[in-house]
Amino acid sequence: MNLPLLFLIGLLLAAALVQCATSGLGAGEGPAPDAEPCGAEPEKPWVHQFALREGAEDWRRLAHLPLEAGPAPGVVLAPGGAAACHESPVLAVARAFNEALLSWNVDVPPGSGFVVEMRVGRARTSMWSPWLRIGSWGSAPLPAEGAVTSFAGGRVDIDVFRSDERYDRLQYRVTAQGGPRPIVICRVACCLSDGSGLPQLPPDRASRAAPDVPRAPRLDVPFFSQTDADPAIRRRVCSPVSVAMVLAYYGKETAPAQVAERLFDAEHGIYGNWARAVQGAYAFGVPGFLARFSCWDEAERLIAAGRPLIITIAAQKGQLSGAPYESTNGHLLVVTGFDAAGNVAVNDSAADAGAGRLVYSREQMEQVWMRRGGTAYVLLPPRP
């Protein structure tokens, strides 16, 4: 075989490999809500899957995020001064993941507390990780000393599990401790993500259709500014101030300082623990969960239904025009709607009082939010 012919065969093989590696990543394919990325980021596409467990029900894989909190009765743990434990069913998924976000809504009486742990595994080899501590709440949680937060195949980074490897199943357990009154686990949400850029299974073409929703005007979410907070913490409280805005929107007006006190994560010394923010909002009467977004369809559907989103962004200098900061390694703000061109209306607590209702470029927001993981607190109306 001569050299020109070998060269031609090599080119054809390379083209076939490129087609195989990129098939399934098109804008019209993949499971909803967040299974395929919107916008080109070929070096690290995000794939998100969402599952919810309410009360003692089994896991439900949802095509679209819920707009209301379900009425399912919770799982009751009655520690009675000792530890009581609930272990979830296994959540098995077809699409492998290398990041996991858990969030929960748990009724906790005074003098009680709980710890949440999770483990990941692979069905094919029957492998499981050790149980990893990913969160706690209450006045009597189990001690953090000696808690396992990492193993050779991954680690918990404060509130999210991350790994360089991929897994296809997950389980959580809640250990409660406290007085005679029971702790009630009302719901646990799980968002599993793959940001490795590795090939995935072929996407489900039937479930990718975008919801047909009108573009929503700005929701009337009250604005609070971080600049009004105690100078010692004002640069650190974007999460509780954003939560306070959405609590007020739902009629649960609470001073941002009170929200900050409730959300503070003493174990890590921060106010921005994502799972604690969701549980904290629930403690003030507003249920919710953590989710991740990789395109605008689901975000617009939620806003159109009257559900503001608290999103986490990171921006380098010049990446977010009109923001009250040049750059940020991590910041939370409230998405409240869209203008006629689809640009994103926000309440940005970093701005001074009266100056924080802003509009940011849709393309820039995709860069600083969705391509950074697309994490959001989705808070829902209080149940009657």
User: According to DSSP H, which parts of 198-354 are helical?
Assistant: 238-249, 256-263, 274-283, 296-304
Identical fold between 47-198 and 226-379 = no
pTM of the prediction? Answer: 0.85
Are the C-beta atoms of residues 224 and 241 closer than 8 Å to each other? yes
DSSP 193-221: EE-S----PPP-GGG-PPP--PPP-----
Q: Which CATH number fits domain 47-198: 2.60.120, 3.40.50, 1.20.1630, 3.30.70?
A: 2.60.120
pLDDT at 141 (0 to 100): 65
Give me 40's structure tokens: 């080109």
pLDDT at 59 (0 to 100): 97
| Spatial distance between the Cα atoms of 229 and 257, rounded to a whole number of angstroms | 7
pLDDT per residue as tens digits for the range 123-165: 999 999 999 999 999 986 666 677 899 999 999 999 999 999 9
Residue located via tokens 């629930």: 282
pLDDT at 82 (0 to 100): 77
Fold classification of 226-379 is: Cathepsin B; Chain A (3.90.70)
pLDDT at 384 (0 to 100): 76
Domain edges within the chain? 47-198, 226-379
> Which of 279, 361, 290 shows the shortest CA–CA distance to 323?
361
Low-confidence stretches of the chain (pLDDT < 70) are 1-45, 81, 140-144, 197-216
pLDDT at 177 (0 to 100): 87
Is the link from the previous residue into 33 a cis peptide, with omega within 30 of 0?
Answer: yes
Cβ atoms < 10 Å from Cβ of 352: 11
pLDDT at 7 (0 to 100): 44
